Amino acid sequence: MKNDISLTKLSFINIKKHSFRSLGLITMTAILSLFLFGGSVLLLSLDKGLESMSTRLGADIMVVPIGYDKEAEGVLLRGEPSYFYFDKSVETKLAKVDGVDKVTSQFFLTSSNQDCCSVPVQFIGFDPNTDFVVQPWIRENYSGRITENSIIIGNDILHDESGSMKFFDKEYEIAAVLDETGTGFDTDVYADIVTVKSLFEAAKEKGFGFTDDIDFENSISSVLIKISDGYDIDTVVHNIRMNIDGVQIIKGQTMTAEIADNLNGFRIFLLVLLLLTSIFSIIVLILTFSLSVNERRREFGILRSIGATRGMVISVVIKEAVIIGISGGIIGVAFSSLILFPFNTYIGDSVKLPYLLPNSWVIIVVIILTLILSAVIPPIIASCFAVKISRSETYLTMRDND
């Protein structure tokens, strides 16, 4: 017959008829899915940022001039350009310390990137012969040898299509652009020590002074250390302190441990917020579905009286709940995405922790899981009340609203 109404169509009609109530239920489900999806992506992004930072640090110990540990952490973690120097002989002394396997030095310099906005850029010069930190991850993007006057740039460094960049009026060829890490490494420029030295000379010619009494040939900014197998970091740190004065020692694991602690605090806060929002949303859904099903007893009684089975009545309620759940889920995920993805950089800068969005497949899985939860929770709640109502005698159900 032309005017037959299916159970699904009946569910849609019911939702449209009680539009205000349906809108309220969709809003609650949307809030639930917004926090579920948003919270999950935030946590995954923070975890990925921390993992990326731990991978990039490379060294077990970093030694810098005394009093410059905060500046060194700023360079590594937050991309805050800085420069500091001590005598190159420290590298030789450190190589002889018991428990030290490999050492390599780095030279820090800051510059104005003339392509845009005079934002300082951090130059990190490394010794290709001894380096074990920078070259492994440069090799992910560039398999060639880094020649003189060529540079490798972090993902956030502005550059045009010409394949070169100018610093202090001198051109440098861009050999490769590194993958994003969500940390201060993204604003660094890497080159071999010879190139950085030529940059230093170019800067001096332009009248930029760094530390006035610096002996460039015999100065370095940091020494990175890999400890030998069988030694623990604290022992090696102790050995360094016993043999060398005037240096600050930064343990790689301490830096990541501090960030992991901050991340844990943030994670707990997010989880508590998520839990409270979920509980609140579920309570409101329970109350609303309970009221909704109760006030429709007469309607269900009429359906039963014209031949609908208990299963059909329950099915109408569940279908309504699924439609509401999926609608709310889609809206919640959409709103959350409107905040998370366009403002991704801003969020990362605001939390001041390594922050890197997970890859697309992970995000798709999170969306699917969020939508499944949104589609499942309302029907579960609604079905409890629908089953209860459907058990009553039809006559009594119809008379209940009198």
Partner 1 sequence: MSSTVIGNNKTKIRKYFLGAAFLLIGLLIAIGPQTIFAVCPKDPDSMAMACYYTARISVGIGTVIAALGLIQLVIRNNGFGSGISTAELLLGILVLLIPTILVGVCKGEHMHCHSATLPALIILGVLLIVLSVTDIVIGFVGRNKRNNNEK
Binding residues for partner 1 restricted to 222-241, rule: CB under 8 A: none
Nearest to 157 by CA among 145, 144, 147, 167: 167
Convert residues 140-169 into a mask of x (bound to partner 1 by CB under 8 A) and - (unbound): ----------------x-x-----------
345 touches partner 1 (CB under 8 A): yes
Specify the pairing of strand 170-177 against strand 61-65.
unpaired
Contact 181, 354 (CB under 8 A): yes
CB of 30 to partner 1, least distance (A): 16
Contact 223, 62 (CB under 8 A): yes
349 touches partner 1 (CB under 8 A): yes
The single residue among 2, 4, 16, 117 that binds partner 1, judged by CB under 8 A, is: 117
192 touches partner 1 (CB under 8 A): no
346 touches partner 1 (CB under 8 A): yes
188 touches partner 1 (CB under 8 A): no
In DSSP notation, 50-67 reads HHHHHHHH--SEEEEETT
Convert residues 97-116 into a mask of x (bound to partner 1 by CB under 8 A) and - (unbound): ------------------xx
Span from 101-109, 124-132, 241-249, 343-351 in contact with partner 1 (CB under 8 A): 343-351
Kindly tell me which of 269 and 346 has the beta carbon lying closer to partner 1: 346
Instruction: Give the number of residues in contact with partner 1, rule: CB under 8 A.
Output: 14
Contact 21, 15 (CB under 8 A): no
393 touches partner 1 (CB under 8 A): no
CB of 345 to partner 1, least distance (A): 4
Q: Is 271 helix (H, G, I), strand (E, B) or coil?
A: helix
Binding residues for partner 1 restricted to 249-308, rule: CB under 8 A: none
Beta strands in 242-390 (DSSP E): 247-251
Nearest to 221 by CA among 119, 68, 61, 56: 68
Kindly tell me which of 1 and 117 has the beta carbon lying closer to partner 1: 117
Contacts 24+ apart (CB under 8 A), 281-288: 281/28, 281/29, 281/31, 281/32, 282/32, 282/377, 282/381, 284/28, 285/25, 285/28, 285/29, 285/377, 285/378, 285/381, 286/381, 288/21, 288/24, 288/25, 288/28
Convert residues 71-90 into a mask of x (bound to partner 1 by CB under 8 A) and - (unbound): --------x-----------
The contact set with partner 1 (CB under 8 A) reads 79, 115-117, 119, 156, 158, 187, 338, 342-343, 345-346, 349
